[in-house]
Amino acid sequence: MRSRNLGEADKIFTLFTRIAGKVDAVGKGVRRTKNSLGGRLELLTESTMTLHRGRSLDIITSAVTVRSHWTGLTEPRALAAASLIAEIVDMFCEPDLPLDEIYALLSNASPAIAASASPSALVPRFELRLLHALGLAPPDDACIRCGGPFNDHGAWMDIDAGGLGCEGCYGARGDMHSLDVADVENFRALGAPRAAGMRAAINATPKVARAIDDLVTFHLGRRPKARAFLDAFAP
């Protein structure tokens, strides 16, 4: 998901692993031109790795690429979207906590982003599915304040409460953005797993994309840095 330099020739890689979740590990000598390990540790490349347990940091002793989408991800908009999802997962996840659902999300999103003509359009669904996997997604059928249903005026995004509210609680307030009925339906479909029989949506409406962006910022306490990078490509 991320790497930073260590000493003169090494790098610390933040990995998302199937068996242990987020792990920091050192790639020895990866910044030397003759080192072949570095080329196999590009952003969102899926690998089988052997790690040696170190006293403070693990050391990567081997890496065999399983799937790499690096060629597609070097396209600037794809790289921006890939950087953003990697940063968000890194920020949300605690070290050494296996999270199969999030591993699967990352594993599926990488090829989709690398192959997409519009990679940024894939980010809101990824973010909402991630919030669901973390148990942080707000109810999509009930008001965050009173628990009541949404009516045919849609719903209101209360970013200070991290959820959607009903017309009765929020309709009279002019200071928050509203979602119409189609947006609320889109929000539900975006959050639905693809296999659940519900109609899962891939692309967010503009209002829903903004609402999900706000939700992620609400839970992280700040905007991810890569968001600005991705926004620079917005139409």
Piece of 5-13, 35-43, 117-125, 147-155 that binds Zn ion (CB under 5 A): 147-155
Which of these, 141, 137, 143, lies nearest to 158 by C-alpha position? 143
**Minimum distance, C-beta of residue 21 to Zn ion, in the bound complex (Å):** 36
Rule CB under 5 A: say whether 139 interacts with Zn ion.
no
* CA distance linking residue 224 with residue 181, whole number of Å: 29
In the complex, which residue's CB is closest to Zn ion?
143
Q: Which stretch binds Zn ion (CB under 5 A): 7-15, 66-74, 135-143, 189-197?
A: 135-143
- Please tell me the distance from the alpha carbon of residue 100 to that of residue 227, in angstroms, as a whole number: 25
Angle between helices 181-191 and 123-133 (to 10 degrees): 60
Among the listed residues 166, 192, 208, 209, the single contact to Zn ion using CB under 5 A: 166
- Decide whether 57 or 176 has the Cβ nearer to Zn ion: 176
Give the 3-state secondary structure of residue 164: strand
Other C-beta atoms closer than 10 Å to the C-beta of 66 total 11
SS3 42: coil
- When binding is defined by CB under 5 A, the residue of 104, 146, 182, 232 that contacts Zn ion is 146
What is the total count of residues that contact Zn ion (CB under 5 A)?
A: 6
Element (H, E) at 70: helix 70-73
142 lies in the site for Zn ion, by CB under 5 A? no
Per CB under 5 A, 9 contacts Zn ion: no
- Within residues 194-223, the interface with Zn ion by CB under 5 A covers none
By CB under 5 A, name the binding residues for Zn ion: 143, 145-146, 148, 166, 169
